[in-house]
Amino acid sequence: MDSTDQLAQLFQKYNANEEQSKIMAKQLIKRAKQISNRDGIPEVDALNTLLTVTIRGLNGLGPEGK
């Protein structure tokens, strides 16, 4: 199981259907790579930040500090 599949499973736990969850997972990984390249940070750190914001949003919360 790769990271896309793992993220897709996470999104399915938040009631996304299988197709939606795979699309969201791919988009999140793509964006993490872009941020990593732009900011010179490890991809895993960029992904962690994006996941934190995403999960907060799925739980009805805004970004941290807001």
pLDDT digits 0-9 by tens, 14-55: 999 999 999 999 999 999 999 999 999 999 999 999 999 999
Number of other CB atoms surrounding residue 49 within 10 Å: 15
Q: How many CA atoms lie within 13 A of 18 on its CB side?
A: 0
Residue 65, pLDDT above cutoff 70: no
Taking each continuous run of H as one helix and of E as one strand, the counts in the chain are 3, 0
Chain CA centroid to CA 18, Å: 15
Given pLDDT bands bounded at 50, 70 and 90, which one contains residue 62?
confident
Given pLDDT bands bounded at 50, 70 and 90, which one contains residue 66?
low
Q: Return the pLDDT at 63.
A: 75
